[in-house]
């Protein structure tokens, strides 16, 4: 009887954790923003390839500049949703490129204002932030299909 | 002179990058410092690990700049030490220009890291690996120099598909630099028979494909390296270390012994005996000298040497699983330089094999644990090591230096009998010649061979502590079975089948 009771308690804790985790993730939000010079459709696969340095040009051959919002929770959520890596794996991926000479460290900032300003001023740029900036800048929010 | 050239080149490179910085060009500088420690409970692994060794480190610094949207250039200097390999000499790890025309096509030229398997490009960069030592079945320290980078041209690109994932390819053609006193040389010399004197720097063709599948975290990789090697070696005629200079021994040791024999037989006077003894040594025993001096110079050719690796990696959340399999095919021949006689026939082929499976899991931001099990075989058709076990019975092995001298003495004795009869009219008996004696000039080390020389199996447990973004500390235990890759020169007469090795490393990067 005691054993069954213990198992039930453990099950409840696990299920509660999973529900809470799912709820917390549901409340997380990531908005993809680009400079208004960026035309054409962008999908999740494009974002993954951009942030892994595999897609380096837009359809009009302009060089893509991407920025990373280096806030732990937002970055973790973004990477999990779009890239399929955790923060350590992603940083290791870029460090490998840097230390083999086959890439350079992406630009990052932990300030949303900085990220928004960078995208505003940089042609062909893209970034992610945790909420819609709602500002009349040279920025567009990407609606992902 | 070499040091001055290196300093001048470094100054020029430094000035180039300072110029870029002052011209507001964005120059990135990164670096790393790793210091490790190795300790085995028995046998030495590249360094004096039985006593514990700190001769295990890497230091590197790199600079890179983006000249325009498509053009990046940079270089990395590295200094490493693993026992007496590397010895902390500063060398150029990579230095190339990278022009990316399209996503699917880019060009690199210069000295480029060789993409081979999952981890070859990062094998010297400790903070990018969970383990202190990568599985030696694929990433053997012994032939690191032949695989780490090549100087030449490379094409690369990413083929992006909607539903098929993407394929990253790299193709390199270049020249590989292999030092005569590095790991490759130690590997070839490990049995005690050969020593590299000189080698032509080989050209190498390399193709690497990575397929990142549509299943998140799953990728497959295949790598091919094709090269030809030609080297000049000193070779003993059987398995031992040391040199035999029998000819010199004859000149030094024989004349006085012959004089003594002639005096006992009452042949001639002192002066006549002395002149006769010297002249007969020089005139009549040269044949023995030529045929009995070892080591001799030989040419060893690998044509071709082919490495093929198939790899798979799966990452799911904090778990990473990886497995790799390597086949090495070596077609080779060896011939004596003095008479072109083949010691190993052309078209001799060796098939070597290695594989491993690994797992690592990140428990927290600062702790990751890893396990791997690795196996390597010097001959995939002889996994029991019969070849090495049977070496102890081989005629070339049991044919000791005593027998060599006995045959030489026999030839000297016969020649002396004839010459004494001709010059003095005296018959020498076998008893008269008993006092003839040759001592070896140098003492020789003769290793004992075991079946476990043919393989190396390794079970490894690693703990990786990410102290922060810039610091990493690792602890690792190796449970090793087999002695392939161990150098008998480091371990004198015998090597054990099993051992435990402790490894640790501290790394800082910026």
Give me the interface pTM, i.e. the ipTM: 0.80
Domain limits of chain A?
30-141
Instruction: Check CB contact under 8 Å for A101 and B64.
Output: yes
Neighbouring residues of B242: CB distance < 8 A, sequence distance ≥ 6? B236, B442, B443, B444, B445
Question: Is B96 in contact with A88 (Cβ distance < 8 A)?
Answer: no
Average pLDDT over residues A105-131: 92
Residues of chain B with C-beta less than 8 angstroms from the C-beta of A101 = 62, 64, 72, 74-76, 94-96, 98, 112-113
User: Whole-prediction pTM value?
Assistant: 0.81
- Rounded to a whole number, what is the distance in Å from the CA of B156 to chain A's nearest CA? 10
d(CA B23, CA A92): 31
Position with higher pLDDT, B202 vs B412: B202
Decide if B128 and A88 are in contact by the 8 Å CB cutoff. Answer: no
For chain B, percent helix, then strand, then coil, each to nearest 5?
Answer: 25, 45, 30
Average pLDDT taken over every residue of chain B: 85
pLDDT computed for residue B437 by the predictor: 79
CA of B176, closest CA in chain A: separation in Å? 17
Fold of A30-141: D-Maltodextrin-Binding Protein; domain 2 (3.40.190)
- A positions 115-144 inside 8 Å of B (CB): none
User: B217 to chain A: which residues are within 8 Å by CB?
Assistant: 84-85
Q: Which CATH number fits domain B2-228+299-383+454-509: 2.40.160.10, 3.40.50.300, 3.40.50.1580, 3.40.50.12780?
A: 2.40.160.10
Residue B97's pLDDT is 93
- Can you give the pLDDT at residue A79? 94
Residues of B with CB below 8 A from A105's CB? Answer: 28, 30
CB neighbour burial string for B326-365, b if at least 16 within 10 angstroms, e if fewer: bebbbbbbbbeeeeeeeeeeeeeeeebbbbbbbebebeee
Measured CA to CA, the distance from residue B424 to residue B427 in angstroms comes to 9
Can you give the pLDDT at residue B491? 55
Higher pLDDT among residues B270 and B189, named by residue: B270
The arithmetic mean of pLDDT across residues B202-222, rounded, is 95
A56: contact with B, CB 8 A cutoff: yes
How many CB atoms are located within 10 Å of the residue B274 CB? 16
pLDDT digits (tens, 9 = 90+) for B300-338: 999 999 999 999 999 998 999 999 999 999 999 999 888
From B30, B95, B168, residue closest to A98, measured CB to CB: B30
- CB distance A88–B103 less than 8 Å? no
**Amino acid B286: pLDDT:** 55
CA-based nearest distance A2→chain B, Å: 31
Question: What is the spatial distance between Cα B60 and Cα B210, in angstroms, rounded to a whole number?
Answer: 27
* Confidence (pLDDT) at B254: 79
Contacts of B91 (CB under 8 A, 6+ apart): B77, B78, B79
Q: What are the chain A neighbours of B95 within 8 Å (beta carbons)?
A: 101
Summarize the confidence of residues A2-25 as an average pLDDT.
62
Q: Over the stretch A20-31, which tens digit does the pLDDT of each residue have?
A: 554 444 446 789
The separation between CA B260 and the C-alpha centre of its own chain, rounded to angstroms, equals: 50
Task: Give the pLDDT score at B14.
Answer: 60
What pLDDT band is residue B495 in, cutting at 50, 70 and 90? confident
A:B CB pairs within 8 Å: 80
Say what the pLDDT of residue B247 is: 43
Taking the domains of chain B in order of start, what are their residue ranges? 2-228+299-383+454-509, 244-294+401-435
Strand partners, A33: A127, A141
Cβ-nearest to A101 among B76, B103, B158: B76
Torsions phi, psi for A89 (to 5 deg): -65, -40
CA dihedral B176, B180, B181, B185 (to 10 degrees): 80
Least confident of A32-46, B308-322, B491-505: B491-505
* Sign of the dihedral through C-alpha B444, B449, B452, B454: positive
Inter-CA distances, B203 with A72, B150, B225, B234, B462, Å: 46, 8, 10, 23, 36
Query: What residue in B sits closest to A90 (Cα-Cα)?
Result: B128
The DSSP H or E segment spanning B36 is: strand B27-40
Distance from CA of B6 to the nearest CA of A (A): 21
pLDDT band for B84, please (50, 70, 90 cuts).
confident
**Which residues of chain A have a CB within 8 Å of the CB of B75?**
101
pLDDT (0 to 100) of residue B294: 64
In this predicted structure, which of B5-9, B47-51, B413-417, B447-451 has the lowest mean pLDDT?
B5-9
Structure tokens at A124: 């062909």
The chain A residue lying nearest B108, using CA atoms, is A102
CA distance A49 to chain B (A): 8
Report the pLDDT value the prediction gives residue B369, as an integer from 0 to 100: 97
Where are the strands (E) in B126-165, listed by range?
Answer: 149-160
Contact residues, chain A, for B60 at CB < 8 Å:
99
């Amino acid at each position: 009887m005691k054993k069954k009771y213990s198992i039930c308690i453990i099950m409840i804790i696990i299920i509660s954790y999973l529900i809470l985790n799912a709820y917390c993730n549901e409340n997380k939000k990531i908005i993809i923003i680009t400079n208004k010079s960026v035309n054409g459709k962008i999908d999740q696969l494009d974002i993954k390839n951009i942030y892994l340095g595999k897609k380096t040009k837009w359809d009009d051959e302009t060089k893509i500049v991407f920025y990373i919002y280096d806030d732990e929770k937002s970055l973790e959520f973004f990477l999990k949703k779009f890239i399929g890596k955790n923060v350590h794996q992603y940083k290791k991926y870029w460090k490998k490129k840097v230390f083999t000479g086959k890439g350079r460290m992406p630009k990052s900032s932990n300030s949303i204002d900085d990220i928004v300003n960078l995208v505003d001023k940089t042609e062909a740029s893209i970034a992610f932030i945790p909420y819609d900036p709602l500002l009349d800048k040279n920025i567009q929010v990407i609606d992902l299909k | 002179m070499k040091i001055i050239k290196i300093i001048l080149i470094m100054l020029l490179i430094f000035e180039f990058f300072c110029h870029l910085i002052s011209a507001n060009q964005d120059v990135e500088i990164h670096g790393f410092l790793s210091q490790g420690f190795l300790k085995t409970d028995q046998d030495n692994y590249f360094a004096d690990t039985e006593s514990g060794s700190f001769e295990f480190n890497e230091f590197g610094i790199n600079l890179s700049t983006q000249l325009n949207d498509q053009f990046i250039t940079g270089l990395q200097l590295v200094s490493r030490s693993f026992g007496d390999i590397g010895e902390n000499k500063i060398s150029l790890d990579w230095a190339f220009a990278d022009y990316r025309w399209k996503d699917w096509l880019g060009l690199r030229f210069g000295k480029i890291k060789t993409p081979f398997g999952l981890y070859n490009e990062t094998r010297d960069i400790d903070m990018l690996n969970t383990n202190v030592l990568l599985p030696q079945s694929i990433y053997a320290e012994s032939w690191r120099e032949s695989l780490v980078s090549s100087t030449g041209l490379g094409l690369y690109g990413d083929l992006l598909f909607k539903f098929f994932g993407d394929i990253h390819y790299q193709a390199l053609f270049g020249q590989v630099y292999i030092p005569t006193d590095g790991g490759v040389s130690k590997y070839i010399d490990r049995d005690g028979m050969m020593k590299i004197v000189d080698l032509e720097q080989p050209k190498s063709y390399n193709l690497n494909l990575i397929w990142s599948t549509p299943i998140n975290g799953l990728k497959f990789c295949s790598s091919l390296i094709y090269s030809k090697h030609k080297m000049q070696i000193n070779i003993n005629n059987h398995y031992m270390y040391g040199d035999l200079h029998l000819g010199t021994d004859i000149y030094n040791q024989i004349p006085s012994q012959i004089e003594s024999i002639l005096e006992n037989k009452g042949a001639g006077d002192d002066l006549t005996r002395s002149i006769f003894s010297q002249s007969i040594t020089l005139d009549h025993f040269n044949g023995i000298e030529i045929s009995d001096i070892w080591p001799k110079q030989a040419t060893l050719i690998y044509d071709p040497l082919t490495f093929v690796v198939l790899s798979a990696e799966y990452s799911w959340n904090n778990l990473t699983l990886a497995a790799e399999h390597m086949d090495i095919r070596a077609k080779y021949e060896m011939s004596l330089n003095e008479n072109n006689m083949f010691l190993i026939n052309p078209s001799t082929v060796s098939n070597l094999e290695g594989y491993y499976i690994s797992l690592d899991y990140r428990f927290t931001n600062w702790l990751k644990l890893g396990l791997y099990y690795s196996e390597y075989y010097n001959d995939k058709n002889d996994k029991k090591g019969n070849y090495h076990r049977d070496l102890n019975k081989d005629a070339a092995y049991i044919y000791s230096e005593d027998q060599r001298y006995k045959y030489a003495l026999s030839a000297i004795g016969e020649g002396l009998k004839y010459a004494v009869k001709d010059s003095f009219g005296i018959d020498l008996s076998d008893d008269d010649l008993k006092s003839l004696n040759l001592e070896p000039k140098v003492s020789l080390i003769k290793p004992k061979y075991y079946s476990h020389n043919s393989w190396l199996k390794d079970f490894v447990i690693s703990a990786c502590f990410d102290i922060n973004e810039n610091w990493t500390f690792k602890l690792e235990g190796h449970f090793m079975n087999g002695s392939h890759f161990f150098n008998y020169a480091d371990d004198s007469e015998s090597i054990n089948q099993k051992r435990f090795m402790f490894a640790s490393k501290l790394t800082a990067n910026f």
